[in-house]
């Protein structure tokens, strides 16, 4: 059984309604990662999810705890959630840099994937703040310095060359549409598997003994509409991704 760690894809949100002179607010919680949990658990994987607000408490802070995972995914979560931890900001105490730890995990043979969104890569107003981090070092792409979102409300139909890479094995040439992505540039030694309008959407690469993937669009709404995440080949795509990412895990 493959063991994957999926970090992000959650949020709290507050809605305020005004009705004449009266108003009220309510706070709710949404966990989009449930879509990916269903995908991976149907594949028979052990799926460990760390929501955005629990990263400080639950993300591994030692090499052995991270090594038990065959692949690690970051999706729609900013670097500050890993770097501005309470035990450091409140007391000035030195702590483990969890991004440096993740880089070490990949260097020693782990698999890592960053999935696009408003807080991954750079995202909205560059608030993801992943540029010039340890994670950019291991990714097969270079990040922009500013807001890197490409919104496509009319939809972008994706295509691939089936079988041209292990990740594309068993997938058709024509894919469902997406509604946006993070604009990236592939590093010199990377393999771009899927493009749209010349921009890399899925890019594969290596770092040390490990393998990494940049999945520039989202895995859940809104950039990945239901046409994408209910696609009959969606599970096959993510199965291929995990199998490829974890291929070098043991060196």
What is the count of structural domains for the chain?
Answer: 1
Please provide the distance, in angstroms rounded to a whole number, between the alpha carbons at the two ends of the chain: 19
* Other CB atoms within 10 Å distance of the CB of residue 232: 8
What CATH number is attached to the domain comprising 63? 3.40.50.880
Q: Is the dihedral of CA 5, 32, 99, 201 positive or negative?
A: positive
Range of the domain at 227: 3-248
Q: Which of 119, 228, 138 is nearest to 189 (CA)?
A: 138
* Other CB atoms within 10 Å distance of the CB of residue 42: 11
- The structure tokens listed for 191 are 């393999």
Q: Is the dihedral of CA 8, 10, 14, 15 positive or negative?
A: positive
Helix axes 234-245, 33-42, angle to 10 degrees: 80
Per-residue pLDDT of the chain (251 residues; tens, 9 = 90+): 899 999 999 999 999 999 999 999 999 999 999 999 999 999 999 999 999 999 999 999 999 999 999 999 999 999 999 999 998 999 999 999 999 999 999 999 999 999 999 999 999 999 999 999 999 999 999 999 999 999 999 999 999 999 999 999 999 999 999 999 999 999 999 999 999 999 999 999 999 999 999 999 999 999 999 999 999 999 999 999 999 999 855 43
- Rounded CA-CA distance 225/98 in Å is 32
């Amino acid at each position: 059984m493959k063991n994957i760690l999926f970090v992000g894809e959650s949020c709290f949100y507050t809605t305020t309604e005004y009705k004449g002179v009266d108003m009220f607010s309510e706070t709710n919680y949404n966990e989009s990662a449930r879509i990916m949990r269903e995908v991976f658990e149907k594949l028979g994987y052990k799926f460990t999810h760390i929501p955005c607000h629990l990263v400080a408490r639950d993300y591994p802070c030692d090499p052995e705890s991270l090594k038990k995972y065959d692949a690690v995914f970051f999706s729609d979560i900013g670097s500050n959630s890993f770097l501005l931890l309470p035990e450091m900001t409140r007391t000035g105490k030195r702590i483990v840099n969890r991004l440096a730890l993740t880089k070490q995990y990949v260097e020693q043979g782990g698999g890592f994937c960053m999935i696009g969104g408003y807080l991954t890569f750079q995202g909205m107003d560059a608030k993801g703040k992943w540029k010039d981090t340890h994670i950019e070092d291991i990714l097969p792409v270079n990040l922009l310095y500013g807001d890197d979102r490409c919104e496509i409300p009319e939809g972008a139909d994706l295509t691939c060359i089936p079988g041209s890479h292990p990740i594309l094995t068993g997938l058709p040439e024509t894919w469902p549409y997406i509604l946006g992505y993070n604009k990236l540039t592939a590093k010199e030694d990377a393999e771009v598997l899927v493009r749209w309008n010349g921009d890399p959407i899925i890019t594969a690469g290596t770092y040390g003994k490990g393998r990494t993937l940049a999945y520039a669009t989202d895995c859940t709404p809104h950039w990945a509409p239901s046409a994408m995440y209910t696609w009959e080949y969606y599970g096959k795509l993510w199965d291929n991704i995990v199998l490829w990412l974890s291929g070098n895990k043991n060196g």
